[in-house]
Structure 1
């Protein structure tokens, strides 16, 4: 019996929270994306994992897909903004402005974004692109 995409996704999130190596989680999330090609959450997570591994080009394509599937999701926009920075592309400002607007409407999303950025810096210290995005979102 094969696991459902949702079950694999939940397993991947649990493993991520438990601190499993990112390199081991990428294939799992790729499989979830293959099984559920309309799951913005799966593509958002995969893009984040790519960013943590320093794979900016893969993260860029994956984050674009996540944003296309769910344009209002702040984390997918943040991932795309970081991927822009990591790959030297222009276009970051629009995504940062949209995330800022969403965070002004929802304190819960604001807190979630803050926690995700802090998690990223714990897992990848001295991550310059993420530090820039955090500054734009919380120090301006």
Structure 2
């Protein structure tokens, strides 16, 4: 990833964390993905933004690319599950199981996914798919 793409990505993340919405950030992350098509973090971020914008078909495509580029990225797997659930697609169990293994193996991944879920529910409180994924990953016995 060249310096320009890195700085675009950092700035995009900062803008997101400052509360900026998906409508203005999606073009930024699309541009990053066009410039650095092998950047799994950019695809993961783009998928998340599409999910927040209620665009599950586009989120599915972005999340699939992120998972293909980095199969060990728990957040990319979570995004793919969310997109599949929001689209009404089957086959989420495999990705949930892999995400579960990843967050069990690495506490920093668990913390990151947990924080992202909480933040997603702040931005989109009635996101039932996200509530379901949260329950599957963090309350598996309930």
Q: Note whether the superposition's TM-score is higher than 0.5.
A: yes
Instruction: Tell me the residue number matched to 1:33.
Output: 33
Q: Secondary structure at the match of 2:72?
A: coil
Q: Secondary structure at the match of 1:89?
A: coil
Instruction: Tell me the residue number matched to 2:90.
Output: 90
Pairwise CA distance, 1:11: 0.5
Instruction: Tell me the residue number matched to 1:18.
Output: 18
Pairing 1:94-105 to 2, within 5 Å after superposition = 94-105=94-105
Mapped to 2, the partners of 1:119 and 1:43 lie a distance apart of: 18
Instruction: Tell me the residue number matched to 1:65.
Output: 65
- Residue by residue over 1:23-60, the C-alpha shift from the partner in whole angstroms, topping out at 9 and shown as x without a partner, is 00000000000000000000000000000010000000
Q: How many residues were matched structurally?
A: 138
Gaps of 5+ in 2: none
TM-score w.r.t. structure 2 length? 0.95
Pairwise CA distance, 1:4: 1.1
Gaps of 5+ in 1: none
Instruction: Tell me the residue number matched to 1:108.
Output: 108
C-alpha RMSD of matched pairs (Å) = 0.8
- Give runs of ≥4 in structure 1 deviating > 4 Å: none
Q: Secondary structure at the match of 2:38?
A: coil
Instruction: Tell me the residue number matched to 1:137.
Output: 137
